[in-house]
Structure 1
Amino acid sequence: MSIQGAGGTEGGIGRFFLGLIMLIGGGYLFLSSVNVTNSFGMGYRLFSVGGMGITSGFVLIPFIFGTGMVFFNSKNYIGWFLMISSIVMLAFGVITSLHFSMRSMSLFELLIILILGVGGLGLFLSSLRSFSK
């Protein structure tokens, strides 16, 4: 009877946990070094329809009418459509207005992030294969 390792194979359980810890550490360091900014505001152009820009404030107008229609008659499908489509367009506008950039870091920090992430992934995946004895 053989002891099963990571993934039900005879791979090393130590390699599995070491790779997992390295992968999580590298992922954390990578994600903590990314700056996220946005340019979302009431005057920001979300969409363009027929050459006319629709700002994020304009998206709220159908939402207001839809909300009033739903409160007047909760079975009004047009009101529900206006509310839901406005929320979807607003969420889409917020997500598309995000900008990602890396913070300034030294080469040493970047190498540590890459070694932890890629090396951890390699150890993690190698622990899932069987080792012949």
Structure 2
Amino acid sequence: MRGAGGSDGGEFNFLIGLVMMVAGGYLLLSNIVIRPIFGMGTRAFGMGGYDVTTGMILIPFMFGVAMVFYNGRSKIGWGLAIGSVIALVVGVISNLTLQFSNLSAFDLLVILVLLFGGIGLFLRSLRG
């Protein structure tokens, strides 16, 4: 019977490393706060040196929806509607701000030791 990663032994290091990695990753990701900076009239993204706002994205969306309701087989209408929704989603995602929540230095050190210590143990268990 071979151990973790086909090496001799290492099952204990593998399990402890995996648990530490998962715990450190969870604690790191759960302490990140996502704040959207998005609203009507806010720049969604730039195109050709011009700012494209969310209102500008909704105008072709409205025309596309009207064309689809008038003729369900309208490729231009479907293209406008789907393209506008994709542009809106891209604009929302590109305007997110990721920040750490208030952490003490001890909390951050514990998270980093769990995460990177777990990665080290995990990789050591896979070594031959």
The answer as to 2:6 corresponding to 1:17 is: no
Preserved contact between residue 11 and residue 128 of structure 1 (Cα < 8 Å): no
Aligned-pair distance for 1:45? 1.1
Q: Which residue of 1 aligns with 2:58?
A: 60
**Secondary structure of 1:10's partner?**
coil
Aligned length: 128
Aligned-pair distance for 1:52? 4.6
**Secondary structure of 1:28's partner?**
helix
AA aligned opposite 2:42: Y
**Secondary structure of 1:127's partner?**
helix
Preserved contact between residue 59 and residue 90 of structure 1 (Cα < 8 Å): yes
- Mapping of 1:29-40 within 5 angstroms? 29-40=27-38
Q: Which residue of 2 aligns with 1:79?
A: 77
- Alpha carbons of structure 1 residues 126 and 72: separation in structure 2 relative to 1, 3 Å: same
- Alpha carbons of structure 1 residues 124 and 49: separation in structure 2 relative to 1, 3 Å: closer
AA aligned opposite 2:72: S
- Alpha carbons of structure 1 residues 48 and 111: separation in structure 2 relative to 1, 3 Å: closer
Aligned-pair distance for 1:6? 1.6
**Percent of residue pairs bearing the same amino acid type:** 49
Separation in structure 1 between the aligned mates of residue 18 and residue 122 of structure 2, nearest angstrom: 6
AA aligned opposite 1:97: N
Aligned-pair distance for 1:24? 0.6
Unmatched runs of 5 consecutive residues or more in structure 2: none
Separation in structure 2 between the aligned mates of residue 16 and residue 27 of structure 1, nearest angstrom: 16
1:50-86, Cα deviation, whole Å (9 max, x unpaired)? 6553211221111111112122222211111111110
Preserved contact between residue 12 and residue 127 of structure 1 (Cα < 8 Å): yes
Separation in structure 2 between the aligned mates of residue 24 and residue 98 of structure 1, nearest angstrom: 25
Unmatched runs of 5 consecutive residues or more in structure 1: none
- Mapping of 1:86-125 within 5 angstroms? 86-125=84-123
**Secondary structure of 2:102's partner?**
coil
